Structure 1
Amino acid sequence: MKNRWMFLCVLLVVFNAVAQQQIITPNEAVTLALSNNYGIKLANNQLEVAKNNASILNSGYLPTITGNAGATYNIDNTEAVFSDGNVAILNSAESSRYNASVNLNYVLFDGLGRSYDYKQLKERYQLTELQARETIENTVFQLFTIYYNVAQLTENTSALNQTLAISNDRLLRAKYQFDYGQSTKLGVLNAEVDINNDSINLINAQQQLKNFKRDLNVVLGHVIENDFEVDTTINFDVLFNKEELFEKAKSRNIALLQIEKNITISGYDIKSGKSAYLPTIGLTGTYGWNKNNNNAASFLAVSTNTGVSGGLNLSWNLFDGGSTITRVKNAQINLQNQQLQKEQLLMTLDRDFNNAWDDYQNKFKIYKIQEDNILTSQNNFDRTQEKFKLGQVNSIEFRQAQLNLLNAELSRNQAKYQAKLAELQMLQISGELLNVSF
């Protein structure tokens, strides 16, 4: 009786500790990951770089303005012979020159290459957005893979705790029976062996649970300092329409969207390359100031000039050795490769979607069967337990019924979370993973 009360007190302490622990719901886990996951932070930074690159400041459409200034100081020894025959000798004659200018250069026309490059930069920004979305999708799926491992191990630990409690009760009963001469010592020894096995299984499950919680915290950006629990409630959407979901996959699948964006970029790459066949027309303008302080031998003592100048220039690369032709041809081949990759991806997408659909349907059916199996195993155990208390069933048969119930619970837990991950995998392929409520 004393052992039973001690065990009940331990359970009470454990349940009280669990009640005080933070419970992380799926929606909270996603929110934490989106804000703190390092992979997502890196992807967002890369998106900012792409946004800067797609700015008008990086387009080549704006002029360049430069400022120049300079000063020169001279000390010369000068011998000057004038036309009338007079000679002037100057030693250490000083002179200085000063200049400043503002220069403007602007490309008026470059064969439309600048236009196609700018459009290409905008498309690359959108491609980076898709890459960031892919990172988020992969992180969310990784998050739930670990999250549901934690949930499964939480339920497994609960089942193993229950099994250990039953084994402890059986040991207590066996000791009473032995003390009153109703059983041999063998019953006590068998119960002790089973308790040891159940304890080992529980210890291993608890350690696995701790490890997966640490893994989950890493995905969340290590923002949870205390121990926590997860929500083990699972809701399945059984109203999926296969045809509608497949149509979404063909229009929203992240890999397909990226290859389509690459095709657009390759098209602009070809046009940008062809722009080198046309001339470039540029505008130049300068505002300058120059001042000369001459020595005594000069005709002018001081001269100052200010003025504005402007002009147009044209350059036409009539033949560059064939590099432009080669670049355009290679860009056309790259476009063909992108189109071939899209066709290949469409076939792969068809296969992957159908595999994911069937996998989800099968695992969901298995989960439902395992739930029914729980009822059968529980009913079998309850009856066996009653017979065991009445002495109509031996300890081996009781233990087998106990293990059958435990295995049924563990199998049900595994099927439950495998079915949910299969559902999420199907949604990810369809491009709907980030559009569902968790």
Structure 2
Amino acid sequence: MKKIIILGILVQIFVLGAQGQETTSNELLTLDEAIDKTIANNKDLKIQRNLVEISYNNVFRGNSGQAPTISFAADGKFSQNQANIDIRTFQENPALVTIDAEGVQSTTLAAGVRADYLLIGGFRGKYTYKLLENEQSISRYQQEAVLNGLILGVSDLYYDIAKLQSREELVIENVEISRDQLRRIENQIEFGQATGGLALSAQTDINQELNALDDVRLLKNNLVKELNFLMGIDPETDYLVSVNFQDPPLLETSELKAMVLDENPQLKISDALISVSNNQLKLSESAKYPQLNAFADYGYYRQQNDAQQLAKLETLGYTAGLSLNFLIFDGSRVNRGIKNAKIAIENSETQASLVADELVKEAVKEQSQLLILKSKLVRQENDLATFTDNFTRTQDRFERGLASSLDLREALRSLLNAKIGINDAKLDILKSVAKIRNLTGEILKQFSE
């Protein structure tokens, strides 16, 4: 029965971090602390929080047309013109009365309050509101996806730094052993038991190890700066990292798949997009139904004109009524929109299924890799005792003149590679565990805001 490992192997290492200013070189930074700093300071996450807040602010009845609107309007006009007016009298004599005046003034004032409310709209307001709720959910799930990705990114960098810093310690230890060997060779030269060429070869080996140490430190320091960037702190910050491996519990493969399908934030987004497509279909169908709108206004109107027969008009009162709108023909625009909305639903469902298949595939692949890493670690731990014993024996034979410096160097290199391989395998296991927890959304339960 296939199983997966959720945590790592029991061991603890402390390794030196990058050079910097924000913390002292003796301060420890745990993985949880690094993630907490990222949650607090990361700018991408801050942007996503603001988008979530915007989506929450958009969800209210007035934004979906389900609340009445009340507006106030006022208008005032004044004009002064030359007027030439011919008025029919409908008499034979005179047939027209002519008014010709200079500086004719006209004043118009109007003010009023109007209220509108959609009584029947084919459920347009209802489904518009549901779409606003969908946008809110999608924004929240997108925030979870960003957080999930950041936690995985921080974890990967943290474990890679620990891997390199552990390697740095092992190389430093190797350099000290090589220097001790060089001192012994120099002592042998004094007593005529070794040649200068042997000392030169030993010094060359030390120089190669120091070059390798510089390469490790350079790569480590670059990764530290990347991690500091994600945490939103000074790139030159200095700290120690502490990695704790624990014997992991196991999950059935079926349980792993169920967790991915239930908790992964990308799948939650896909499900929300299906809901969006369904509500878009309902919104398109609402255009087929009549709309009944109620309105009322209360206002004041005044008009005064020097040239007109009606010298002054002034009103104050209200008007109320209903307006009905029913679409009879629009050239199949609504029907085509409904048809396309149904196709969009099918696409959303297919996309959700594709995302689910991809995520499950990644989880199963990661599980297989994790099991291989665990088997590899067991073999490497079994081989370590052999490499250690071989180095001890070769060192003893070298001191008694029974082994060459090349033999000793090869034994030391094999022991170093064995130790590096074990540490790398353990940290690769933790990276694989972090990837699985990312796919299942499990890490969000620990660090959800």
TM bin, normalised by shorter chain, reads 0.7 to 0.9
Distance 1:275 1:21 in 2: 67
Q: Determine what percentage of the aligned residue pairs are the same residue.
A: 25
Structure 1 residues 202 and 311: CA distance shift in structure 2, 3 A: same
Residue aligned with 1:232, SS? strand
Q: Does 1:72 align with 2:82?
A: no
Q: Does 1:289 align with 2:300?
A: yes
Distance 2:167 2:291 in 1: 73
Distance 1:312 1:299 in 2: 32
Is the deviation greater in 76-85 or in 129-138? Answer: 76-85
The amino acid that maps onto 2:379 is I
Distance 1:19 1:393 in 2: 46
Distance 2:76 2:412 in 1: 98
Alignment of 1:412-427 (within 5 A): 412-427=422-437
Structure 1 residues 283 and 299: CA distance shift in structure 2, 3 A: closer
Structure 1 residues 373 and 45: CA distance shift in structure 2, 3 A: farther
Q: CA deviation at 1:82?
A: 12
Please give the TM-score of this superposition, normalised by the length of structure 2. 0.86
Match of 1:265 in 2: 276
Match of 1:274 in 2: 285
Match of 2:41 in 1: 36
Residue aligned with 2:251, SS? coil
Give the conservation status (yes or no) of the 8 Å contact 2:228–2:237.
Answer: no
Distance 2:247 2:62 in 1: 49
Q: CA deviation at 1:61?
A: 1.3
Distance 2:102 2:184 in 1: 125
Distance 1:141 1:174 in 2: 49
The amino acid that maps onto 2:409 is R
2:189 to 178, 185, 188: 178
Alignment of 1:70-219 (within 5 A): 70-76=75-81, 91-219=102-230
Residue aligned with 1:233, SS? strand
Residue aligned with 1:230, SS? strand
Match of 1:25 in 2: 30
Q: Which string of whole-angstrom CA distances, capped at 9 and with x for unpartnered residues, describes residues 340-393 of structure 1?
A: 233344443443332222211221222233233333322332333233333333
Structure 1 residues 402 and 79: CA distance shift in structure 2, 3 A: closer
Distance 2:193 2:215 in 1: 35
Alignment RMSD (CA, Å): 2.8
Distance 1:129 1:430 in 2: 17
Give the structure with the larger helix fraction.
1
The amino acid that maps onto 1:360 is L
Match of 2:407 in 1: 397
Give the conservation status (yes or no) of the 8 Å contact 1:171–1:188.
Answer: yes
Residue aligned with 2:232, SS? coil
Is the deviation greater in 27-36 or in 349-358? Answer: 349-358
Residue aligned with 1:173, SS? helix
Q: Does 1:388 align with 2:398?
A: yes
Match of 1:364 in 2: 374
Structure 1 residues 118 and 236: CA distance shift in structure 2, 3 A: farther
Distance 1:229 1:208 in 2: 16
Please give the TM-score of this superposition, normalised by the length of structure 1. 0.88
Q: CA deviation at 1:289?
A: 1.0
1:315 to 318, 325, 342: 325
The amino acid that maps onto 1:238 is P
